[in-house]
Every structure is written in C-alpha cells, then in structure tokens.
Chain A
Amino acid sequence: MTTYILRRLLLIIPTLFGITLLTFLLVRLAPGNAALLKGGGGEGGGRAMTAEQRLATIKLYGLDKPPLVAYVDWVGRIARLDLGESWIDHRSVTAKIGERIGLTASIAGSALVLSYLIAIPLGVTAALRRGQGIDRVLTFILFLLYSIPNFAAALLLILFVAGGDYLNLLPMYGINSINASEMGTWGWIWDRILHMILPVVCLTYASLASISRYARVSMLEVLGQDFLRTARAKGLSERVVILRHALRNALIPLITIFTLELPVLIGGSVIIETIFSLPGMGQLMLQSLENRDNPTIMGITVLAALVTLGSYLIADILYVVVDPRMKYE
C-alpha cells in the first residue's frame, strides 16, 4: 500500500509539469501579450496600460526572456504563491483570491456535503425497490434534475420564490441584506443562511442526481453478491444485512465520486456566483474575463487545476486505505 501511495505521489510530477506548462503556454500565446512586448500602443488586451504596468506584465510572464527561462521563473513564482498583480486594481492576485476563496469553498463544500447526504438514501432506496414504482419515479426525477441547466434553474427560482412576480420568500442577490449589521449576531447569521439557500440549492441538485445514480448502481452491485446470501443464511435480519453488510460495501466506491463533481462545482460557481452576485472566486473569474485581467484569470485557473489534482490524489489514496481489496497495480 505504501508503495502504491508513493508511486501515486510520484505520478503527480508530470501532471504538475503539464498543468503549469499548459497555463504558461496560454499566457505566452495570448495575443495581448505579444502586442505588449512590441510596446506598440501599450495594449493590454484591448485596454490602455501605463508604461509601468506594461513592464510589470512583461516581467511577470518573462515575455522578454527565452521561453524556457520564463517557464522556470513562472513555476518558481507559482510555488511561492506569487501570481502577479491584477491589471485592474494593482493588488496582488493571491490576496484577491484569498479574500474570496472562503465563500466559494463554503458554498461548494455545503453543496457537496448536502448532495451526499440526500443522494445516498435516495440511491439506496431506489436500489432496494428496484423496478418498482418508486424506483422508476426516482430515476425519472433524478434524470430531470440532472438535465436542468443550473443557470435556468437559478433564474426560475429567483423568479418564482425570490421577489419576482410570485412568492417573495428568499432574498434575490448578495450574501447579506444591506441592513444586516443592525440585526445582531443571530439575526446576521439567519440573514446569511437565507441568502445562501438558493445558491447552494442550485449547485446541489445536479450533483445530487448524479451521486444518487452512482449510489443506486453501487448498491445493486453489492446486493447481487454472494456474501449477502451468506449473511442471510446465518439468520441475520434483513435490516442488519442491508445496513451492516450491504451499505458499507456499497459506499466505498462512492468515496471517489466527489472528484467527478468538483470540476463541475467549480464551473458551476462561476455561473451561480454571477447570477446571485456573490463575491466569490467564480464571480472574480468572470469579472476578470470581462476586464481582460489576465494575471487574475491565470491565477484562478492554476489554482482550480491544482485543487482538482489534489482531489484526485486524495480520492486515490482514500480508496486504497478504505478498500483493502484494491489491487496495487
């Protein structure tokens, strides 16, 4: 097992290299940067730049150096978490991301936890009543949820429950009401929760649908295996058989599913944070794209890729730790 884990860790090196190389190439090839180097017009992606900014950008991406040297510099800077300076407000990209990452992580994190919590009972129920009415209805509903684009769902939810022409139950935008500071601690917390409900719901339902489909298949697979028959033959009650033996084995493969959901959640947060005006990383990403703020764009992209890579790693290691049957190929 240790060999497997060490080997897995070793395999990150080429991947890390690839991720940094890919982002580096994107930056190098960006048309705005080529124009910068020539100095003509001082175009920074369609935006006028001061001479000072231009120099800073050239320095950041090593545009004046040979590609190899520039690449090594770039990797070194990422390793020190120095992602450069925003073209818009001259603040360090690391700081800009730092103040926004918490919100995004907490929304995406709650969505992930919630989807697991709801998905597993749903999937297991469907598996236990395979082929019956409830299984078919659940399958259809989950399919429906899975196919609703999150931006359409967000818009319709706002329209129908958040201050459109219909119900006005929940706040429409932002992370807190304007007068939140006058509400006292509990009032503030309650206000924040109300603001978070819709974004979390919008990020949850699709993950929920796909996780419960995996849960159903995984449970069905376990239910078809021999050891359950043995357990029944030993005279254990159906309840014990399902809960103690089947469920535990069915849940193991689900550990790794979150790696599939993470990139979806990161992409989804760009859309959801934009719709609900939440000051998270996703919204920063879109603003930077609109303002052609390349250092911030690249910073967020590298970070997202590293987080995803980390999740693959955690999933792979968790898998061998939890499931002793796993072959260390």
Chain B
Amino acid sequence: MNSEPSPQPLVQVDHLKVYFPILGGILRRKIGEVKAVDDVSFTVNRGQTVGLVGESGSGKTTVGRAIIRLTEPTAGVISYEGKPISKLSAGAFRPYRKKIQVIFQDPYNSLNPRLSIFEIIGEALEIHFPQMSRADRRERVAGLLDKVGLKRDHLDRYPHEFSGGQRQRVGIARALAVNPEFIVCDEPVSALDVSVQAQIVNLLQDLQEELGLTYLFIAHDLAVVEHISDFVLVMNAGKIVEAATAEAIYANPQHEYTRKLLSAVPTL
C-alpha cells in the first residue's frame, strides 16, 4: 500500500462473510452451508483501482455483489465513506445506487434484449432524475455514448445489432449514467476476444482518469489485473490469501496459490 494511506478509504470491507445454506432432508432444513466469502477485509481508496483475482468459485463475484447489495451478507460490515451501508433498508440504500455502480461480465445477457440502447442507458436517469425531460435524457445518453466510443445514431438500436465489445461499451455507459464514484467491474473483459479486451481496459482507464472513478476490478486473469490495478487481492476458497501492490505480486508472489495463478498466465 502507498506510504501514506488516505485518512478515509472510499470503500471499506470488514470481516465480510457470505454463506449460502445447503438445504436437505425431508423438511428442507439447513444441513450445511457454502462459505462463498469467509471473513474478507480490505479497503479501496478514492481514485484507486483494486484488483480482485481468483478462480471461478473463489467467491470474488460474491464480494462484488455484496458491495452493490445484490447479495445479503451473512456477517461483517461494508462501509462507504465511513458509513456502514450493508445493513441499510432498500430505501435507505437507494442514494448509494447513484454512487456505486456495476459492469457485468456477460455482454450478451447483461442488456435487456427488448429495450433500445437509449432505454437501457436512460433507465437509471428515469429512476434517479424523474424530473428530467425526455429530450434532456436523450441528450445525456448521446453524450454517454460518445464518451464510451459509440455513435449518437446507436440510440434507437437494439442490443442484438451490436458486437460483444460494443455491448460492453453500452454496459459501461449504463454504469456511468448516474455519475457514480465507485464501479464494481465484475470480469468486464473475460467474455471478450483478446484484441477487444485491451480496448475495453483502455477505455476503463481513460474514464477513470477523466472522471476520477474508483474501481474494484474483478478478474480470473492476473495479466488483465496487473495492467490496470494499483493493488491486488488474491482470493481462494472464500478467503484472501494474498494482498499486495500489483508489482509486488508479480515480482515476488508469496502464496503458493498466487504462484499457481501466475504460472497459468500467458506472458503478454
């Protein structure tokens, strides 16, 4: 971590646990539990990118979903700007939906096939700025499309008319619509071709600089994470096994699991 950590991290995760019950027996009682996330703590500072790496099933996606409240934590506290947000009611959490956004892995299923690009991106504006006129909304969405490298005349097209990379750009524009501060990028490039991966990662970096965004960047691939992250967390079986700066992880991996992940990475 940097020599002088900022006084208050933007996001702080404290002893987060997410257990999923295993039901069984005649009465479908809980007969066990899957410890998807087992006592995980870390912080994300403003303007930083923290990489979260692990194999599928390591619990990294669950951490991301707990932060954006798509999964209820079993125990632990998640704080945003020092305020605990993991126990808030859905209504009380609502203002934070503007600040915390998410980009999903699957570019094909993350866009509603029945809605136009304008409707998809504009939905967040409809929700958070109900007084905004339709014309203003269109203007704002067109601006967002421009920002993510798409064209204004894509507004009234439908997702099926776009390639995977373009769809992922739409997904990014949707996340940006409400001017968030913090974005959980849940494997945003894993489903894309290698050539497209670099474009999207570059886009995310440019946006970070331009808008001062903070990222939690989830991936199963250390190579992608190294490129973008300031700090890297390695997760295995629900626990963080190693936490260090990106350079340190590469230069001197401490944990055996990290070495295993590294050896699986093709050198670029």
Contacts and interface: CB of A to CB of B under 8 A. Distances in A.
Do A and B contact each other directly (Cβ–Cβ < 8 Å)? yes
A162 to B, nearest CB: 54
A178 interface: no
SS class of chain B's interface: helix, strand, loop or mixed?
loop
Nearest to A328: B24
B26 interface: yes
A69 interface: no
A3 B27 contact: no
A13 to B, nearest CB: 12
A10 interface: yes
A232 interface: no
A152 interface: no
Contacts of A7: 25-28
Contacts of B25: 3, 7
A215 B28 CA distance: 34
Interface residues of A, number: 4
A3 B24 CA distance: 9
A7 B27 CA distance: 7
Most buried by A among B24, B26, B27: B26
Interface in A4-40: 6-7, 10
A9 to B, nearest CB: 9
Contacts of B28: 7
Give the interface size bracket for B toward A. under 10
Please name the 6 residue pairs, one residue from A and one from B, whose CB atoms are nearest each other, closest first.
A7-B26, A6-B26, A3-B26, A10-B26, A3-B25, A7-B28
Interface of B: 24-28
Given A3-B26, A7-B26, 8 more contacts: A3-B24, A3-B25, A6-B26, A7-B25, A7-B27, A7-B28, A10-B26, A10-B27
A73 B28 CA distance: 32
A7 B26 CA distance: 5
A169 B5 CA distance: 99
A42 B222 CA distance: 86
Nearest to A10: B26
8 contacts: A3-B24, A3-B25, A7-B25, A7-B26, A7-B27, A7-B28, A10-B26, A10-B27
Contacts of B27: 7, 10
A10 B28 CA distance: 11
A10 B27 CA distance: 8
Contacts of B26: 3, 6-7, 10
B20 to A, nearest CB: 15
B23 to A, nearest CB: 9
Contacts of A6: 26
Nearest to A2: B26
Nearest to A6: B26
A45 to B, nearest CB: 44
A40 B64 CA distance: 70
A10 B24 CA distance: 14
A70 to B, nearest CB: 31
B24 to A, nearest CB: 8
Nearest to B28: A7
A3 B23 CA distance: 12
A171 to B, nearest CB: 53
A6 B28 CA distance: 11
A141 B15 CA distance: 67
A63 B99 CA distance: 62
Interface string A141-177: 0000000000000000000000000000000000000
Interface string A265-295: 0000000000000000000000000000000
A10 B25 CA distance: 12
A2 to B, nearest CB: 9
A327 B236 CA distance: 29
Nearest to B25: A3
